[in-house]
């Protein structure tokens, strides 16, 4: 087995299978931010990405992708049901998002979570060089740091949580709360999106284990585990360059024309998820039409909602409710050739997304809770002429950085309606000043600076990664 000095471990591999023109199945690098960010780094060092390739058959043998080795971890149908759909997405996901849907607890799911985490830890142990660095990602794999440390005490282990880490009152509901924290404490550095999450974590560690913990570090088993906020970023320059491309500009003109050249386009782009506040947003928009504040001829809403985790009951219920509501609003307020809502459930390529961002006079990003929300950042990055208004939930991690957005509490329907109108009617000088400030921020704190700051902190001696992270 070939070994690497830098290993990323994530539930998903950063690749998609697509069908080539000759009908063969081919694997391509998926446009995810982490792979883009790590790409230059991973190429300088023999690097491996450990993850699941999708599906529940035997693990496919994958070729290297842009010089990075893909090491596949297989999931059986039971693992997929009980680990991915169950413990990860029907226990942890709702609990970590303020329990906006009821988390479910099943002992069988916990068994699967342990089993799959062990498989990932064993795979990482197998492919990492002596003294190497392993960077574990997200809530699916919270037990991996401790399991890996047992197997390979020589490694430097980082863990980063992309989703929110909840306040102690919520986390304490988890039947296996102590084991989950112990799993994370196997890392040398635990990164969160926001400082509040690091604070929640420290409080829980002192409460459950009675050991000294601050928002910056925890002393455990004679080791120091560092804790901190590292808000995830995007490849700002890449999105800006894409949005500025002449073919993308032409596509945007076409899209606007196809929408009937309205005065205002409101856009939302979400995974179909109950954390995203889709229903609240539809209600606000339909009430503004019913109240006569918004005319469908002048103002259209484009809602992109890609189906996600489709066999999980809460996701099926949400999709049904959203589609019923879109149908109701279009039936009530639309006209032939003039729907009130343009509703799309397809995945788009990056150029099409950039064209959509270009036509959005108001981008409505109103999750009830979100670790970061990359869509909000992508929109800002795409507004290369500094126009457009970002309507942003206070409960998205992005709100901590994008304070010049039009900030809203999506639970407050009247407030949401009012802020949507404010954004629609804003003075262009005001929106330009806000957009410019947000764009500057995102150029300064981009995905490369995120990777550099996280891996720089993980390698506190400075020696191991110095050569890797110097551009």
Candidate ranges 19-27, 201-209, 369-377, 427-435; the one touching ligand ADP (CB under 6 A)? 369-377
Q: How far is the CB of 269 from ligand ADP (least distance, A)?
A: 5
Outline where DSSP puts E strands in 193-291.
Answer: 217-220, 223-229, 264-271
Q: Which residues pair with 391 in a beta bridge?
A: 364, 406
Residue closer to ligand G6P (CB basis): 316 or 432:
316
Residue 316 neighbours by CB under 8 Å, 6+ apart: 310
Residue closer to ligand ADP (CB basis): 4 or 393:
393
In whole angstroms, give the CA distance from residue 214 to residue 202.
6
Residue closer to ligand G6P (CB basis): 209 or 348:
348
Q: DSSP for 82-101, please give it.
A: IIIIIIIIIIIHHHHTTTSS
Phi-psi region of 221 (alpha: psi -120 to 50; beta: other; left: phi over 0): left
Residue closer to ligand G6P (CB basis): 162 or 342:
162
269 contributes a contact to ligand ADP by CB under 6 A:
yes
Phi-psi region of 337 (alpha: psi -120 to 50; beta: other; left: phi over 0): left
82 contributes a contact to ligand G6P by CB under 6 A:
no
353 contributes a contact to ligand ADP by CB under 6 A:
yes
The catalytic site residues sit at 162, 370
- Torsion (CA) 252, 253, 254, 260 in degrees, nearest 10: 110
Q: How far is the CB of 392 from ligand ADP (least distance, A)?
A: 12
125 contributes a contact to ligand ADP by CB under 6 A:
no
- Torsion (CA) 280, 284, 286, 288 in degrees, nearest 10: 180
The kind and range of the H/E element at 49 are strand 47-52
The 12-51 contact track toward ligand G6P, x by CB under 6 A, reads x---------------------------------------
Residue closer to ligand ADP (CB basis): 369 or 417:
369
- Torsion (CA) 68, 73, 77, 80 in degrees, nearest 10: -80
163 contributes a contact to ligand G6P by CB under 6 A:
yes
193 contributes a contact to ligand ADP by CB under 6 A:
no
138 contributes a contact to ligand G6P by CB under 6 A:
yes
Q: How far is the CB of 432 from ligand G6P (least distance, A)?
A: 31
Candidate ranges 111-119, 214-222, 374-382, 407-415; the one touching ligand ADP (CB under 6 A)? 374-382
In whole angstroms, give the CA distance from residue 206 to residue 13.
35
Residue 34 neighbours by CB under 8 Å, 6+ apart: 8, 10, 14, 137, 447
Size of the site for ligand ADP (CB under 6 A): 12
Pick what 438 binds: ligand G6P, ligand ADP, none; C-beta below 5 to 8 Å, kind-dependent.
none
Candidate ranges 295-303, 326-334, 345-353, 421-429; the one touching ligand ADP (CB under 6 A)? 345-353
Q: What letter does residue 187 receive in the DSSP assignment? A: S
446 contributes a contact to ligand G6P by CB under 6 A:
no
Residues contributing to the site for ligand G6P (CB under 6 A): 11-12, 138, 162-163, 308-309
Residues contributing to the site for ligand ADP (CB under 6 A): 269, 271, 304, 306, 347-348, 353, 372-375, 378
């Amino acid at each position: 087995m070939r070994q690497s000095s830098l290993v990323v471990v994530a539930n998903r591999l950063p690749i998609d299978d697509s069908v080539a023109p000759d009908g063969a199945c081919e694997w391509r690098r998926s446009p995810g931010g982490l792979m883009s960010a790590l790409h230059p780094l991973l190429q300088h060092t023999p690097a491996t990405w450990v993850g699941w390739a999708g599906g529940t058959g035997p693990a496919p043998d994958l070729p290297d992708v842009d010089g990075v080795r893909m090491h596949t971890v297989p999931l059986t149908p039971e693992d997929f049901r009980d680990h991915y759909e169950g413990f990860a997405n029907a226990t942890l996901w709702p609990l970590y998002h303020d329990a906006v849907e009821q988390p479910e607890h099943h002992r069988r799911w916990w068994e699967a979570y342990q089993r799959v985490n062990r498989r990932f830890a064993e795979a990482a142990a197998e492919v990492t060089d002596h003294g190497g660095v392993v960077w574990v990602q997200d809530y699916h794999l919270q037990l991996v740091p401790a399991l890996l440390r047992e197997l390979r005490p020589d490694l430097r282990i980082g863990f980063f949580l992309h989703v929110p880490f909840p306040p102690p009152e919520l986390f304490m509901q988890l039947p296996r709360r102590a084991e989950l924290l112990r799993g994370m404490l196997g890392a040398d550095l635990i990164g969160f999106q926001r400082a509040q999450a690091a604070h929640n974590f420290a409080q829980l560690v002192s409460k459950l284990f009675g050991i000294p913990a601050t928002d910056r570090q925890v002393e455990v088993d004679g080791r120091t585990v560092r804790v901190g906020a590292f808000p995830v970023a995007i490849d700002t320059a890449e999105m800006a360059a894409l949005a500025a491309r002449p073919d993308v500009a032409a596509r945007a003109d076409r899209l606007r024309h196809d929408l009937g050249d309205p005065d205002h386009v409101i856009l939302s782009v979400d995974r179909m998820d109950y954390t995203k506040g889709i229903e609240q947003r539809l209600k606000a928009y339909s009430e503004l039409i019913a109240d006569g504040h918004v005319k469908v001829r002048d103002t259209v809403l484009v809602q992109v909602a890609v189906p996600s985790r489709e066999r999980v009951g809460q996701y099926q219920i949400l999709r049904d409710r959203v589609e019923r509501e879109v149908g109701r609003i279009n039936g009530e307020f639309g006209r032939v050739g003039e729907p009130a809502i343009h509703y799309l459930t397809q995945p788009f390529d990056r150029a099409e997304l950039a064209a959509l961002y270009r036509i959005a006079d108001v981008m409505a990003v109103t999750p009830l809770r979100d670790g970061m929300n990359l869509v909000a950042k992508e929109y800002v990055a795409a507004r290369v002429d500094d126009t457009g208004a970002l309507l942003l939930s206070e409960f998205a991690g992005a709100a901590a950085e994008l304070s010049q957005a039009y900030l809203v509490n999506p639970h407050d329907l009247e407030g949401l309606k009012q802020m949507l109108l404010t954004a629609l009617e804003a003075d262009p000088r005001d929106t330009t000043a806000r957009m410019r400030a947000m764009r500057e921020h995102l150029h300064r704190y981009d995905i490369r600076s995120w990777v550099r700051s996280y891996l720089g902190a993980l390698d506190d001696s400075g020696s191991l990664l110095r050569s890797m992270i110097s551009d």
